[in-house]
Structure 1
């Protein structure tokens, strides 16, 4: 299903699109099942390597408190989820009185499982559909690796907050993605599930945007920088070329 939110919504002009940037987590796959599996893999490794830390992290309130403490202590890492995860493991090891040098190996265990995603059932066909039309650039605040996941062949480039140094909705990372695609910002169509970070961020950076709204919820923000179209699934992206042009 495709919608064009309300009378204030800007008109989608696909004729000027020369590249497409795509969010990853919760756009091409649901992220929380992946994170939960990665955390389970980490806890299983800790059980045999650092059991006191495993017991500490088995208490959800304690795990959240450790993570919150790391986030508060390292605001300079807010764009880097890998570094925050690594430091959270290190902090848990320290709190449990175990070897903090194990944090690097623990993170490797987590990261490897984090790349085992379950793509939405229409993700591959959508990537194939879009990639034959325009260059695709992955644009993510997360730490998924499109090569490790096995979808790198569809993308010209990947721009991540971790590597670039700032996160969406900062306009600079959108502009970097446009540069990676070799086009001007106004020639980019950005696609993502987050109303603020993806839709508003892209429009504020001078791009067109499509918001993926799988739950059918109302637009949750004000009318500043509305998306140019809303779709309920990935197939709706390819349908845009048939219904708008």
Structure 2
């Protein structure tokens, strides 16, 4: 997977190439990052990449020409016709399924805006899609893209030391889109709190049942919308529904 990024701050992405799972995946040539700084495509003494907004108002707007030249250079460097994706607060909400789609693709060209925004003519001409990390505004697209790339890279085959580790992550199909259950490790007793007895039993069927119930409990408490989605997709069993009904009954009593 090849990732190209148009950004004024290429150093934002050092964390992906130098640390942890994403760094190891890069070392294994599972993915690569290529940053294109629009400032390198302007030639005035001040290396100007923004200007005042027509119509007035606060903030500066990124110029279309430097972004265009940077994008064309990125496209010429690639051997495919990758999508151009803009980081934007109004974009499509990034989810685990979007991360999976990116991991299964050859990559993309991402555009990270700054200041008040980007000249709309660049967006209209070149951008294929817009992605958002959530309903909040950041100083630029870089922090959001770092999180998105981390989510996708760890899904690449060979990225994790245990190949099926991500299969049990929250939101994954193996959990029917629910949140993951709690996890415990040594010591058995910590500050008077013991590891749940069922996890020490060695009874695999009971452990699976406990984990499913804890997944349902946490999802119902923290993300009931995911329970609703699982119901709509008919992913919950009669046993699941009985457990959820029991939760409400115990709460009411």
* Structure with bigger RCO (C-alpha 8 Å, 6+ apart): 1
Specify which structure has the higher proportion of strand.
2
TM over 0.5: no
Larger Rg: 2
Specify which structure has the higher proportion of helix.
1
TM-score by length of 2: 0.29
